[in-house]
Amino acid sequence: MKTFTLPGTELTVPNVVLGLMRIQEKTDEEVRTLVKTARDAGISFFDHADVYGSALHGCETRFAEAMQLTSSERAEIVLQTKAGIVREGPYFDYSYEHLVESVEGSLAALGTDYIDILLLHRPDALVEPDEVARAFDDLSAAGKVRAFGVSNHTPGQIELLRKSVSQPLVANQLQLSVTHAPLVAQGVAANMQGLDQSISRDSGTLDYCRLHDITVQAWSPFQAGFFNGVFLGSADYPELNAVIDRLAKKYDVPAIAIATAWITRHPAQMQVVLGTTNPERVAGAALGSDIPLTRAEWYEMFRTAGYSVP
């Protein structure tokens, strides 16, 4: 497993991490096997959110109840969680009270006295950056949160936060898979008239994150679109799957490793956030941590996923 020091922190992190959004219905044994498989593959970084699960803090609670981590086991892993979504509504809330209350809930649910990284989950149109800064300062001073970041944020939204927030924003978690790659694809087709791909939907977020040492974390790395099923093995992507299968043979790994490698091969040093609850898939995806896809291979996947290389 390829690891690196997460810029803005002293954490050594893997470039493939495990998201735990889908573990609510899993038994203790299933959660333990999933996490053990991840740990054996070098995945020591786990992604949560207050809103994952059937109830608030549901998946965080499920994780902690199943794992019963000792303090030394806790110290060996990176626990990241998110705040800012109110499910009933739904709406977004970056107020001081909401952020602090959410973190208190996550600490209790996870059975830990600190969160390694807290992400602001989805941009709040009513954000007041000074209030976010006050929440971050208090959470940081109390030792409850060690590092901060964002998710689904544009450069302008990050700049606005940075005006008030004194801590570095270390991560931006964004949707990215080979078939859902506007982050990457727009730049490849910049300034092309009449081509949908060339429309900027995120104001250059990827380049901005690279410029400011904000690590991009790719969520839904195997989903074709927005939670509409995976592209791997899908009849909707015959050419892409043929390429993936060919590369899987070449590199002697399962197909899921090639889908992972399409993201890890990018020089931005992104982290891939897996969402599978299947241990075999976790182990297979982890093999994609450091596969040296050539430029020709990387672009072939990109083209057969439906993107233009003008």
Ligand X SMILES: NC(=O)c1ccc[n+]([C@@H]2O[C@H](COP(=O)([O-])OP(=O)(O)OC[C@H]3O[C@@H](n4cnc5c(N)ncnc54)[C@H](OP(=O)(O)O)[C@@H]3O)[C@@H](O)[C@H]2O)c1
Q: What is the largest CA-CA distance in the chain?
A: 58
Q: Does 124 bind ligand X (CB under 6 A)?
A: no
Residue with Cβ nearer ligand X (142 or 201): 201
For residue 153, give the amino acid letter: H
In the numeric block, which tokens belong to residue 157?
A: 């939204």
Single out the residue of 22, 14, 7, 9 nearest to residue 289, CA to CA.
Answer: 14
Contact track, ligand X, 91-120, x by CB under 6 A: ------------------------------
The least distance separating ligand X from the CB of residue 177, rounded to whole angstroms, comes to 6
Which one of 104-112, 194-202, 216-224, 246-254 is the stretch in contact with ligand X (CB under 6 A)?
A: 216-224
Give the Cα separation of 241 and 42 in Å (integer).
Answer: 27
Residue with Cβ nearer ligand X (39 or 134): 39
Q: Would you say 281 and 309 are in contact if contact means Cβ atoms under 8 Å apart?
A: no
* Site size toward ligand X, by CB under 6 A: 23
Among 14, 15, 16, 19, binds ligand X (CB under 6 A): 19
Give the Cα separation of 308 and 263 in Å (integer).
Answer: 18
- Cis geometry, peptide bond prior to residue 123 (ω within 30 degrees of 0): no
Q: Does 231 bind ligand X (CB under 6 A)?
A: no
In the numeric block, which tokens belong to residue 244?
A: 């993936």
Q: How far is CA 298 from CA 2, 134, 179, 188, 295, in A?
A: 19, 43, 13, 13, 5
End-to-end Cα spacing for the chain: 34
Residue with Cβ nearer ligand X (189 or 268): 268
Q: Does 256 bind ligand X (CB under 6 A)?
A: yes
Residue with Cβ nearer ligand X (95 or 234): 234
Q: Would you say 261 and 293 are in contact if contact means Cβ atoms under 8 Å apart?
A: yes
Q: Does 22 bind ligand X (CB under 6 A)?
A: yes
Q: Does 275 bind ligand X (CB under 6 A)?
A: yes
In the numeric block, which tokens belong to residue 101?
A: 């209350």
Residue with Cβ nearer ligand X (81 or 186): 81
The least distance separating ligand X from the CB of residue 277, rounded to whole angstroms, comes to 4
Stated as kind and residue range, the H or E segment containing 183 is helix 182-188
Stated as kind and residue range, the H or E segment containing 214 is none
Which one of 1-9, 68-76, 156-164, 267-275 is the stretch in contact with ligand X (CB under 6 A)?
A: 267-275
Contact track, ligand X, 45-64, x by CB under 6 A: --x-----------------
Residues 156-185 that bind ligand X (CB under 6 A): 173
Which one of 133-141, 158-166, 221-229, 291-299 is the stretch in contact with ligand X (CB under 6 A)?
A: 221-229
Strands 169-175 and 215-219: parallel
Residue with Cβ nearer ligand X (186 or 241): 241
Among 81, 154, 186, 276, binds ligand X (CB under 6 A): 276
Residue with Cβ nearer ligand X (82 or 144): 82
Among 186, 220, 260, 289, binds ligand X (CB under 6 A): 220
136 Cβ contact partners less than 8 Å away, ≥ 6 residues apart: 99, 145, 148, 165, 166, 167
Single out the residue of 130, 123, 118 nearest to residue 92, CA to CA.
Answer: 123
Kindly list the residues in this chain that would bind ligand X in the complex (CB under 6 A): 19-22, 47, 151-152, 173, 219-223, 230, 232, 256, 273-278, 281
